[in-house]
A and B are shown apart, each in its own frame.
Chain A
Amino acid sequence: MIYFDNQATTQLAPEVWEVMAPLYQAQFGNPSASDTRRGRAASKLVNISRIQLASAVGTEPRNLIFTSGATEANNLAIKGAMALQVKKNRPRVLTFSTEHKCVTASVQACEEFGAKAEILPVQRDGLINISELEKVMDHRVGMISAMAVHNEIGVIQNLSRIGEIAERNGALFHCDMAQALGKIPVNLESLPIALASFSAHKAYGPMGIGALYVRRRPKAHLQPLIHGGGQERGLRSGSLPLPLIAGFGKAAELAADYLEDDLTRIWKLRDRVLEVVSRLPSVHLNGHEEQRVPGNLNLRFEGMTQAQLRDGFRQFEFSRGSSCSAEDLEPSFVLSAMGLSHQQAASSIRLSIGRYTTELDVEMLCAAMENLCL
């Protein structure tokens, strides 16, 4: 099987495993056990990882807390901050119909403590309509949550504009950056973002680890979801999984170091696919054509059934939407939310190109597409 599902999860980078392996073997220690040498060594490694991640996303290490993944980070950011915003008479929490399920579910969960969840539509190209957003803003909005890079259609939202609108109205901007690390340059200090979530396994790091950026100035106030030993500034209790954190740190460092190389290579591979697409009248790209990451190709094969697509691409691993919902065999809710018909959504697939996709893989894909459509 040829892997075209890099937005579901990525292969672990060998350099990352090299960092992790010895930590499982020899230097184990609980980073909270500050009374022991091993505990301190573990804690030092956690700090190094925090520095690596911080420099990859353009912030200071102390603004980052480790979580079990982006899903937890999104839940913590949205529910944790809104619990306090509600008390400041800012009960409105805004997000968009195409956001990841863990964001919309968290936003809706805020209603349990008195917030008002509002899920706004997006444009047909998948982008947020900035002027519509501006119209619904007022001083009762506590938070806007929007994804930087879309997991299904790859579009890049205009983060500075959304953040400015949030700040002008005194609201927090939370940004789900799970798909952004290693795909677009990220410089948190220069963006009007209060909270941002990250995932390691979408960027050639291990599964089971993520992070939340919690801005200090001006401070984004949060209430923890998980209480206990008070690790991670009291915002996220639980023993820190050292090997996973070290792996994440390394993956983040590589994401920054390889960003240009990865992008250049992936652009080329993607252009090759699009060149074939342009010759196939029944195949269209879903989502905005320019404002997108190169690794994502969400393609619509007009008139084709899912069975035809599955058969035509049987040598390839891909998905039809977010893999969290791959098991329900409904077409992607994201495409429906963008205004595609049920039929159009059902004839779309997501192919995602990554660091380890080869030219040969892409040639095989192009051949399969031509076979299927010509």
Chain B
Amino acid sequence: MATAYLDHNATTPPYKSVIELVARVMREGGNPSAVYGVGRQARGRVETARSQVAKLANARARDVTFFGSATEAHATLIAQFASALFLRPDSEHDAVLNSRPGIPIPLKSSGVVCIESLNNLLYSNSGPILVAIMAANNETGIIPDIETISQLIISAKVNNPKIHFHIDAVQAAGKFPIDFKAWGCDSLALSSHKMGGPQGVGALVTRPGFDLQPIIRGGGQERRRRAGTENVAGIAGFGLACELTEDMDHLIVLREHLERGLNAINPKSIIVGQDERRLPNTTCVINPGMSSEILLMKFDLAGVALSSGSACSSGRVGGSHVLQAMGINADFARSSLRFSLGRETTKAEVDLALDAYRDICS
């Protein structure tokens, strides 16, 4: 049976050369903290990867710290701001939302951060503030105006230097250029397996001089920012994936085809954020009167892998928290589907999904 994998925002297949590299490094062995030959070779692998990640993010290699996942990278950063006011939109990933209670930055109905509200929040509070914003939303693909937000935060810092600006670039990296320096942020989190690298590796980029405190303590690995023997093969694979990544603009044509098809088959369907700046691979569609859960089951039977929102929250009954944060009503939020294409997605796969949608809707 033909199948289609349209769930790349959940996890991506690694590049072939990444798999080869992971295999080679696994066989090499060696603990990067050991001082002899094979240990030094392993250390070299880790440091090469650090430079590759730094280059992708436009940051310095020494400011890149590796973790076991992006979730852990977020957790480490956020733990350091336990007493700060925590501002973040309600549409952030669970890894940020559930880390500690915070105050929502309102979103416009288009899904982008409301700049005026952010401005008010920043200027009406003194003392330490942690602002966390996604560079691209995992469910809708909507990209906020990072440049404007960044300008706003930089100006606010003149009055209150205790503002820390954290960017979740997990879904952005590998899909459009990320730029730590230009974005003027203080920290930025990345995930390997969302961009063609292996699972089990994340990274945090921090501004020069930032004293990142570990939540996992022990040996002196990662400049004492994260203890534990490094996942050398995984880190090496992540580094290579950063080097191989290219923008995904070619997917726009395929996605247009998908979205036109969805609207043609079901005229009531609504593409979320259609006119907003979005990731080129992501389509979030509301299917009024239908249930995400049943739709997913039917797509799955037809061999099409999709999700309703973030993979972590599959099976959640309340409907997408991202759509609700945009002010979309709960019934609509319970009817959404997320299609996320990958660099190797074919027209045949998209057509298979459209055929399935036609069968479901008829």
B68 at the interface (CB under 8 A from A): yes
B173 CB to closest chain A CB (Å) equals 15
| Separation of A230 and B311 alpha carbons in the complex (Å) | 11
B163 at the interface (CB under 8 A from A): no
B234 at the interface (CB under 8 A from A): yes
- Whether the Cβ atoms of A241 and B23 lie closer than 8 Å is no
- Whether the Cβ atoms of A33 and B94 lie closer than 8 Å is no
Q: Which residues of B contact A72 (CB under 8 A)?
A: 68, 72, 216, 228
- Whether the Cβ atoms of A1 and B312 lie closer than 8 Å is no
- Whether the Cβ atoms of A238 and B95 lie closer than 8 Å is yes
A110 CB to closest chain B CB (Å) equals 11
In the complex, per-residue mask of A11-55: 1 if CB is within 8 Å of any chain B CB, else 0 = 110000100110011001110111111110000000000000000
- Whether the Cβ atoms of B94 and A228 lie closer than 8 Å is yes
Partner of B35, one of A32, A102, A207, A326: A326
8 A Cβ contacts from A303-324 to B? 317-319, 322-324
| Separation of A226 and B233 alpha carbons in the complex (Å) | 23
Q: Which residues of B contact A243 (CB under 8 A)?
A: 198-200
Chain B residue nearest to A237 in the complex (CB): B71
A298 at the interface (CB under 8 A from B): no
Give chain B's interface secondary structure class: loop
8 A Cβ contacts from B182-207 to A? 191, 193, 198-202
Chain A residue nearest to B11 in the complex (CB): A30
Partner of A39, one of B38, B71, B193, B311: B311
- Whether the Cβ atoms of A102 and B200 lie closer than 8 Å is no
| Separation of A322 and B310 alpha carbons in the complex (Å) | 40
- Whether the Cβ atoms of A35 and B69 lie closer than 8 Å is no
In the complex, per-residue mask of B20-47: 1 if CB is within 8 Å of any chain A CB, else 0 = 0011001101110111111100000000
8 A Cβ contacts from A46-89 to B? 67-72, 74-75
In the complex, per-residue mask of B81-125: 1 if CB is within 8 Å of any chain A CB, else 0 = 000000000000111101110000000000000000000000000
| Separation of A106 and B215 alpha carbons in the complex (Å) | 9
Q: Which residues of A contact B34 (CB under 8 A)?
A: 5, 8-9, 317, 319, 323, 326
Partner of A1, one of B14, B35, B38, B303: B38
| Separation of A231 and B10 alpha carbons in the complex (Å) | 14
B232 at the interface (CB under 8 A from A): yes
- Whether the Cβ atoms of A102 and B218 lie closer than 8 Å is yes
B74 at the interface (CB under 8 A from A): yes
B74 CB to closest chain A CB (Å) equals 7
Partner of B218, one of A1, A9, A35, A75: A75
Contacts A35-B307, A228-B75, A229-B71 known; A102 to B94 CB distance under 8 Å? no
A-B contact count (CB 8 A): 264
B296 at the interface (CB under 8 A from A): yes
- Whether the Cβ atoms of B36 and A239 lie closer than 8 Å is no
Q: Which residues of B contact A201 (CB under 8 A)?
A: 229
In the complex, per-residue mask of A74-116: 1 if CB is within 8 Å of any chain B CB, else 0 = 1100000000000000000000000011110110010000000
Chain B residue nearest to A5 in the complex (CB): B34
8 A Cβ contacts from B280-303 to A? 293, 296-297, 300, 303
Q: Which residues of B contact A101 (CB under 8 A)?
A: 217-219, 227
Interface residues of A (CB under 8 A from B): 1, 3, 5, 8-12, 17, 20-21, 24-25, 28-30, 32-39, 67-72, 74-75, 100-103, 105-106, 109, 199, 201, 206-209, 225-231, 237-244, 317-319, 322-328
Interface residues of B (CB under 8 A from A): 3, 5, 7, 10-14, 19, 22-23, 26-27, 29-31, 33-39, 67-72, 74-75, 93-96, 98-100, 191, 193, 198-202, 215-221, 227-234, 293, 296-297, 300, 303, 305-308, 310-315
8 contacts between A and B (CB under 8 A): A9-B34, A28-B12, A28-B14, A37-B3, A72-B72, A206-B233, A207-B229, A326-B35
With A230-B94, A239-B71, A322-B219 known, 5 other A-B pairs at CB within 8 A are: A1-B37, A33-B314, A208-B231, A244-B231, A328-B220
